[in-house]
Amino acid sequence: MKKILLKDLAFARSGDKGDVSNIGVMAKSKNIYDFLAKTITPEKVKSHFRGMVKGNVEIYPVPKIDSLEVVLRRALGGGATCTLRFDQTGKSMCCALLRMEVEVEDSLLEEAKAVDASILRRYGEGKEMAYEVQYDSL
């Protein structure tokens, strides 16, 4: 078992509806989705955001696309037109969630690395990459 960041296993995108932030978490594979569906709980997510989320956290599985929909209620300081937060519409909430630590078997981490390598081969060939995938940052 190894402690890593969620970003090593999934992609994410977030937005808002008023004072509600929603985060789509897309697993890099079916096996990783199965792991995340058991591992990412409302309690862990709320604890990770340490007081930023004042309301409930709900998680909805979307198994046909290996994804989870994470809903954070009362998470944006009243919403875009009311808040004094820099990120009024919650677009960076996905980045914050991807910094959550998870403990994972080595085999799942290797599977995620293989997916990353496949993406880089397919879309990065002949192009200078603007970033490097780093797994040993902890």
The ranges assigned to domains in the chain are 2-124
Chain segment 40-60, per-residue pLDDT in tens: 999 999 999 988 888 999 999
pLDDT tens digits, 110-134: 999 999 888 888 776 655 555 555 5
Q: What is the pTM of this model?
A: 0.82
**Given strand 67-72, what is the order of strands in its sheet?**
10-17, 20-27, 67-72, 57-62
Enumerate residues 6+ apart whose C-beta is below 8 A from 51: none
Split at pLDDT 50, 70, 90, the class of 138 is very low
Residue 56 tokens read as: 């409930």
CA angle in degrees (0–180, nearest 5) for 68-74-77 = 120
Residue 78, pLDDT > 60, answer no
Sequence letter at residue 34: D
Residue 70 DSSP one-character state:
E
pLDDT above 70 (res 83): no
